Chains A and B, each alone.
Chain A
Amino acid sequence: MQDLSDEQHDADAELLQRYASGDAAAARLLTARLVPRIHGHALRVLGDRAEAEDVAQEAMLRLWRQAPKWRTGEAKVTTWVYRVVANLCTDRLRRRGAGATGLDDVAEPADPAPGAAQKMQQAARVDALQQALASLPDRQRQAVVLRHIDGMANPEIAEVLGIGVEAVESLTARGKRALAAQLSAQRDALGFENE
């Protein structure tokens, strides 16, 4: 689960302030901390690698521009940047129209698994989840990804999506039910028969 603690908040805000005062090393650190997360989120929501990269770049560009005006304590950097990403994703999904979510492969096992079979099963699970996510309504997909993959708490998701906490709970609950229904036929194939 991703670390979204207050320590990280302070560290990101501090790095942003350092960047605003002309520290190029702070920009590299912020890029290393934030880009993998927002790129991963955009890819899971949009299902298209090129679009996810464009969204991640645009969100970071807005963060760089915001840096001189950033007020520490008003918002978490991660929440702010995720909110930008969520809005950019929503815009792109609207332009595409309903039911046109892409399905680029998300599975790229970064760590060598102990065995090839286990590695393949991991990749199959990631792919199956991505396909099932693509079938969800956009808002449900965003909420489920933020909650269960990006590891955000419901109040923060509410801030990112600009909705109430109860609406977040409803979206994630309905999203999980829809995923379960979508994936039930693949339970055995994904190696859950004995679990």
Chain B
Amino acid sequence: MNDFDDDALEGLFAAARANPPQVSADLQARVLADAQAHMPKAPRQPWHRALWQLLGGPAGLSGLATAAAVGVWIGVAPPEGLPDLAGQVVSNSWPDATIDLGETDTAADWGGYGWDMEES
């Protein structure tokens, strides 16, 4: 019998499925070049969202706010034993009781930074 029955035909289809044509490197490169050329650009973030992400989102911002509040609090109402630096700078007074400067004159000490130099 010489009929090409369904089983034989299926044998040919199976051979075709098992041996797919190879895609050339050139075709792949052409397709990827098209993809690159037509790829939509990622949408730009608004500045406030970029800043939000830069600061680390809610967790980063809450940490930053806490640290800033603690810094202000220590500056305004320093714990006992710490010099009241903010008060001294604002009032321009530097009591010997706070820091023992010995013989050193406070004004001269400030002058060490050149802040009191007068133009000649």
Taking Cβ atoms with an 8 Å cutoff, the residues of A that contact B are: 1-2, 19-22, 24, 27-28, 30-31, 35-37, 39-40, 43-44, 49, 52-53, 56-57, 60-61, 64-65, 67-68, 106-111, 122-123, 125-126, 128-130, 148-149, 151, 176, 179-181, 183-185, 187-188, 190, 192, 195
User: Which residues from chain A contact B12 at a C-beta distance below 8 Å?
Assistant: 125-126, 128-129, 179, 183, 190
Q: Is the CB of A64 within 8 A of B34?
A: yes
Q: How far is the CA of A124 from the CA of B4 in the complex (A)?
A: 16
Contact A149 B17 (CB under 8 A): yes
- In terms of DSSP, what is the predominant structure of the interface of chain B? helix
B residues engaging A (CB < 8 A)? 2-13, 15-24, 26-28, 30-32, 34-36, 38-43
Q: Are B21 and A183 in contact (CB under 8 A)?
A: no
Q: Which residues of B contact A40 (CB under 8 A)?
A: 20-21
Q: How long is the Cα–Cα vector from A87 to B36 in the complex, in angstroms?
A: 25
Instruction: Give B17's nearest chain A residue, CB to CB.
Output: A149
Instruction: From known contacts A57-B34, A65-B38, infer whether A108 and B21 are also in contact, taking CB-CB under 8 Å.
Output: yes
How many A-B pairs with Cβ below 8 Å? Answer: 139
Residues of B within 8 A of A185 (CB): 2
Q: List the B side residues contacting A53 at CB < 8 Å.
A: 24, 26-27, 30
A123 nearest in chain B by CB position: B19
Measured between beta carbons, the chain A residues less than 8 angstroms from B32 are 27-28, 31
> Which has the most chain A C-beta neighbours within 10 Å: B16, B32, B39, B40?
B16
If A20-B40, A126-B16, A129-B15 touch, whether A195 touches B31 (CB-CB below 8 Å) is no
A149 touching B28, Cβ below 8 Å: no
Instruction: Determine which of B5, B19, B42 lies in contact with A126 in the assembled complex, contact meaning CB atoms within 8 Å.
Output: B19
Report which of B13, B19, B27, B34 forms a contact with A109, defined as CB distance below 8 A: B19
B8 touches A110 (CB 8 A): no
Choose one: B11, B23, B24, B26; the contact of A192 (CB below 8 Å): B11
Asked if A176 and B9 make an inter-chain contact with CB atoms under 8 angstroms apart, the answer reads yes
Interface contact A125-B11, CB-CB below 8 Å: yes
Known: A187-B8, A192-B8. A24 touches B16 (CB 8 A): no
18 sample A-B contacts, Cβ–Cβ < 8 Å, listed by A number: A20-B40, A21-B42, A31-B32, A36-B20, A56-B23, A64-B38, A64-B39, A65-B38, A67-B38, A108-B22, A109-B19, A111-B18, A126-B16, A129-B12, A180-B3, A180-B4, A183-B12, A192-B8
Residues of A within 8 A of B2 (CB): 184-185, 187-188
- Contacts A27-B35, A184-B2 given; indicate if A22 touches B40 (C-beta within 8 A): yes
